[in-house]
């Protein structure tokens, strides 16, 4: 069942001093950036559709099961650096952010039909996804693998191996199927792709020994390794670097407004500070783009 979580912001005139406060996820790891947003960007506000201005809110869908990007804090509310970024965008637009927690696979259809203003769930911007939604790009990321310490698994030679992934991710839908087909074309055993509804389940399958390796977006793999207390290590190199994007309905003016608000955060330094607090400054973009994914 999806949940609605309402973050109440001050009135527009009082948003200037908004601070992004920290949260704690279920395993006690700290979240939140502590980055202050300098104020409402009136030029970005002017791009909002009239109905969004009148509603005074952005309705944003998230899976909240992909730490450190998106997860639930101790009270079940969305947290993580990308959640902080959306809250900062909302502040720049003078809007409340109303969160809906739902399965990853259900977010894009809800965006496409207009039930959500945005999605925020570490979506890789791809040409295939651009057929149904558009994206405001906010980070450059890639795919990275993890395996138990001492493992000889190689992402380029994983034929016959069991590899865990979260259902609906680019690793599940594109990367591993292509690698598995290459194995079969070479007369080798296919990759046994173990798909799970949440990333937490995919990571646990690796820790439990049910999987030989795990493939996920680089921030997520790095976080899993850091929390494994030495049980997991990175294997292979990061590959298929591509932009993350916030999906929005095609033709919606929300996208242009969000793009302008994100650019404002880039220009005033808030964006860089937020990424630095999450250790992701190497993936920072210099410009807020739309549909930069080209593969």
Q: Dump pLDDT digits (tens) for 68-117.
A: 999 999 999 999 999 999 999 999 999 999 999 999 999 999 999 999 99
| pLDDT higher than threshold 50 for residue 6 | no
pLDDT for residue 34 = 59
pLDDT digits (tens, 9 = 90+) for 182-224: 999 999 999 999 999 999 999 999 999 999 999 999 999 988 9
- The pLDDT assigned to 239 comes to 93
pLDDT, the chain, mean: 87
Number of Cβ atoms within 10 Å of the Cβ of 78: 28
Q: Would you state the pLDDT for residue 278?
A: 84
Task: Indicate the length of the chain as a whole number.
Answer: 295
Contacts of 134 (CB under 8 A, 6+ apart): 247, 248, 249, 250, 252, 255, 290, 291
Check residue 277 and give its pLDDT. Answer: 84
Give the pLDDT mean for 151-162. Answer: 94
Per residue in 260-290, pLDDT (tens digit) is 999 999 999 999 999 988 878 878 999 999 9
Identify the three-state secondary structure at position 220: helix
3-state secondary structure of 73: strand
pLDDT of residue 33: 52
Sequence-ordered list of residues with C-beta below 8 angstroms from that of 190, at least 6 positions apart, any chain: 159, 160, 180, 181, 183, 184
C-alpha 85/C-alpha 91 separation (Å) is: 10
Strand, coil or helix: 134: strand
pLDDT at residue 19 tops 70: no
pLDDT computed for residue 1 by the predictor: 25
- In the chain, the domains with their CATH numbers are 42-142+242-290 (3.40.190.10), 143-240 (3.40.190.10)
| pLDDT at residue 32, rounded to an integer | 47
Contacts with 63 (C-beta within 8 Å, 6 or more apart), sequence order: 70, 101, 102, 103, 104, 107, 121, 198
CB 168 within 8 A of CB 201: no
What would the pLDDT profile of 223-244 be if each residue is shown by its tens digit? Answer: 899 889 999 999 998 899 999 9
pLDDT 10s digits, 31-47: 345 567 888 999 999 99
pLDDT tens for 165-184 read: 999 999 999 999 999 999 99
């Amino acid at each position: 069942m999806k949940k609605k979580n309402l973050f109440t912001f001050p009135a527009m005139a009082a948003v200037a001093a908004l601070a992004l406060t920290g949260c704690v996820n279920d395993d006690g790891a700290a979240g939140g950036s502590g980055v202050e947003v300098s104020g409402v960007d009136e030029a970005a506000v002017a791009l909002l559709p009239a109905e969004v201005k009148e509603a005074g809110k952005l309705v944003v869908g998230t899976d909240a099961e992909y730490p450190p990007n998106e997860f639930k804090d101790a009270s079940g509310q969305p947290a993580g650096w990308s959640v902080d970024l959306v809250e900062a965008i909302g502040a720049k637009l003078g809007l409340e952010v109303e969160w809906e927690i739902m399965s990853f696979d259900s977010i894009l259809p809800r965006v496409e039909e207009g039930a959500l203003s945005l999605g925020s769930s570490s979506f890789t911007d791809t040409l295939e996804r651009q057929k149904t939604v558009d994206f405001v790009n906010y980070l450059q990321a890639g795919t990275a693998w993890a395996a138990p310490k001492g493992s000889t698994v190689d992402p380029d030679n994983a034929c016959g191996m069991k590899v865990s992934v979260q259902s609906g991710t680019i690793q599940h839908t594109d990367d591993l199927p292509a690698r598995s087909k290459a194995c079969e074309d070479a007369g080798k055993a296919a990759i046994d792709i173990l798909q799970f509804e949440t990333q937490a389940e995919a990571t646990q399958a690796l820790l439990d020994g049910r999987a030989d390796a795990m493939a996920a977006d680089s921030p997520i793999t790095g976080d899993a390794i850091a929390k494994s207390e030495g049980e997991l290590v990175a294997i292979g190199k990061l590959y298929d670097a591509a932009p993350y994007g916030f999906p929005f309905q095609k033709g919606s003016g929300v996208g242009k407004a969000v793009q302008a608000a994100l650019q404002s955060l880039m220009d005033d330094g808030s964006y860089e500070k937020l990424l630095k607090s999450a250790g992701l400054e190497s993936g920072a973009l210099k410009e807020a783009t739309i549909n930069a994914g080209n593969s």
